[in-house]
Structure 1
């Protein structure tokens, strides 16, 4: 399993529009084989920050989705990104 987590930074004035435009991408990811969870969400304190959280069964399934990733308009709107990939070797109950 792997987790993709971090944040994107966009123009605060355009963040809501950016997230509104992500609905199709989120639905597409969640419908993709191997996607366990996918979320892009507004930060409650920083008006230009978007949280990224993805959970995938395998790197291959993630790669298949990435080939159909964000539109050019979404990519251009990202001013900065701090997103990392975490390979998970085990999962335990809390």
Structure 2
């Protein structure tokens, strides 16, 4: 079952571009871990100081390994260098994944293969 980590971090800075760029080694390192499908940190272009976080992991054991590994701890240390104003990061279990568009090209809110 896939696990999604998604949310935001607000730092007490105007521009987070250099903060994200200097975290590249930690981001690249996470991609070397088993089960890491996506590990994306990106600047919000509308909210100064905001970083969006999106991660996708194959299963719970892979995510736990990441939490116990130095790449996670090193990223935390990197971010602690900058005053934080707030954050909201959540995890989601995903039991069904399918395309937004069905075979006819129609966007669907329901899960058409689950019927």
Which residue does the alignment assign to 1:47? 48
Which residue does the alignment assign to 2:10? 9
Shift of 1:74: 1.7
Would you say the 8 A contact 1:36–1:57 is kept in 2? yes
Which residue does the alignment assign to 2:77? 72
Tell me the SS of whatever aligns to 2:16: helix
Note the residue ranges of structure 1 that are not aligned, 5 or more in a row.
none
Would you say the 8 A contact 1:8–1:78 is kept in 2? no
TM-score by length of 2: 0.74
Equivalent residue runs for 1:13-32 within 5 Å: 13=14, 15-32=16-33
Would you say the 8 A contact 2:15–2:48 is kept in 1? no
Structure 1 distance, partners of 2:33, 2:56, is 12
Distance 1:78 1:55, change over 3 A: farther
Shift of 1:13: 3.7
Deviations along 1:16-75, one digit per CA (max 9) or x if unpaired, are 231122101110111111001110000011111000000000111111112221242423
CA RMSD after TM alignment: 1.6
| Structure with bigger RCO (C-alpha 8 Å, 6+ apart) | 1
Shift of 1:2: 0.7
Which stretches of structure 1, 4 residues or more, deviate above 6 A after TM superposition? none
Note the residue ranges of structure 2 that are not aligned, 5 or more in a row.
101-115
